[in-house]
Amino acid sequence: MSAIATEAATTRVREESPRRDPPSLRSMVLFEWRLIRAERVVAPIAVFFALAVAYAAANGRSWAEFQRDAVKGATVDEARRLSWLGNALDASRGDTSALRAFGDPRNPFVSAQGPARRYAVLPPAPLAPLAVGQSDLYPSYYRVGIISRETLLVNDEIVNPEHLAAGRFDLAFVIVYILPLLILALSYDLISADREAGTLALVLSQPVRLRTIMTAKLLARSMIMIVLALSVTAIGAVVGGVSLSAPGALASLADWTMVGIAYGAFWLALAVAVNVFSRSSAANALALLGAWLGFVVLGPSVLNVLVSGLHPTPSRVELMQASRAASNSASARGSQLMAVYFQDHPELMRGTPESAAEFGTRSLLVADEVANAVRPITSRFESQLDAQQRLVDRWRWISPALVTHAALTDLAGTGTSRYRDFQSQADRYIGTVRAFYEPRIASGNRFTRQDVAAIPAFSFDERTLGPAGERARWAAIVLGVIAVTITIAALSFAQRTAQNSTR
């Protein structure tokens, strides 16, 4: 038969053969979903994940309640002390004896450093039960006096970067650590399983492209990933006792969900890329496990070493030694400091100061002298902390786990920035209290109930949750763009490879 006749016969057979339409993407996604449901491992994974989320939410709720109870206890203690002080001052109103330097509540210095001390309190953010963050390292309240706040320079050091991706078992821990493992368990053999079973070649013999097959598999697992992220948020909000009626709670919860979905999308995209470039399921599992260890464990550890090496903080022993030496020197020069002070403030001088007033003023001046002596060390300490934080912020992008955990803790109000802002406001509050007490102490005036009522109260100015939401949205966008870019590149490479193999 001639070539022309053969071609004509082939064309006639093709025209007479029934035309097979390629399966729709929707039908392929539904088919893939049925295959996933048929897997025996899915049910145990779902049960394990539900238990982990419930336990994490309950753990976060118990910690948040513990902190709320601690703050409430501090508030009750403050009210009790102020009430006792007011009653004691009323009872001593007819006492005409001179003020004593120690133990006399009529002495403003004694009251300021004792029963009249007030608390600077950091109110919990609406999403605090979802992420413990740095709340187990930084205090949520300070008992403030006219010289310092308690726990000064005890919890000021920023948390090492590996702690940003670790900590207590809370919802943030579940998202950062466990969610990627679940996604990888469902996606490590995305294509390799069909290739090893020999079904991939059979499917590709149909009028369907490899890129379409992978897209269907990816979409099916993306829906699972979104459901997992939404379930973490929903269960956490219900079990954790999140107050959705609080201002900004719903917006923060939406940002939280967006970050979780973007983080899960990154790991799903990574699984797609590994499936494209690898040939066996075992190799895929090892590669993805290595990526999880690198991004979640090793990356933060390396950053910690880098931060500590480039910006080491001064030794606390050096700070204690400088404080002790300055205190001894200032105490020896107490009379000289008093003379200089009253020379600068003659309006507070009433002849020879009473012993109690002299004692209080001398104590303040000694404290100031000590603070000035150690200020170079504390300034260097704070500058190194700021440098460490800037370095962490700049290089956290080496690990999606660091980016995600930082965003989640910021949204929950338990991140480093909010606590350091609280410390800064507490320090400024010390200045306000000092300005209130100083003229009363130096002039020798007696403390009264009216003075107790006029003691300045601390009010926290919330300035970090708004920027935290913006940073979280930006982090979600960046992670989402990275995930989409990896996915598109992997699917394109897979399609080109499949076309080249059929030529």
pLDDT tens readout for residues 217-250: 888 888 888 888 888 888 888 888 888 888 888 9
% of the chain surpassing 90 pLDDT: 22
336 or 304, greater pLDDT: 304
% of the chain surpassing 70 pLDDT: 76
Which amino acid belongs to residue 165? Answer: A
- The band of 46, judged by pLDDT with boundaries at 50, 70 and 90, is confident
- How large is the average pLDDT for residues 89-100? 80
Residue 141 makes CB contacts below 8 A (sequence gap 6+) with 70, 71, 74, 119, 120, 121, 122
Enter the DSSP assignment of 178: I
H or E element in which residue 141 lies: strand 141-144
**C-alpha distances in Å from residue 31, one per residue of 36, 37, 216:** 9, 10, 9
pLDDT beyond 80 at 128: yes
H or E element in which residue 67 lies: helix 42-91
Residue 168 makes CB contacts below 8 A (sequence gap 6+) with 59, 60, 63, 132, 136
At 311, give phi and psi (nearest 5°).
-135, 70
Query: Distance between CA atoms of 208 and 256, rounded to whole angstroms?
Result: 38
pLDDT beyond 70 at 5: no
Enter the DSSP assignment of 458: P
pLDDT beyond 90 at 260: yes
Query: Distance between CA atoms of 240 and 59, rounded to whole angstroms?
Result: 8
| Contact by Cβ (8 Å): 235, 260 | no
- How many whole angstroms from its chain centre is CA 234? 19
Radius of gyration for the alpha carbons in the chain, expressed in angstroms and rounded:
33
110 or 381, greater pLDDT: 110
Lookup: tokens for 245: 């009626």
Enter the DSSP assignment of 160: P
- The band of 67, judged by pLDDT with boundaries at 50, 70 and 90, is confident
Evaluate if pTM is beyond 0.75: yes
- pLDDT value at residue 176: 92
Lookup: tokens for 101: 């330097």
- pLDDT value at residue 470: 93
pLDDT beyond 50 at 364: yes
Burial label, 213 (beta-carbon count in 10 A; 0-12, 13-18, 19+): buried
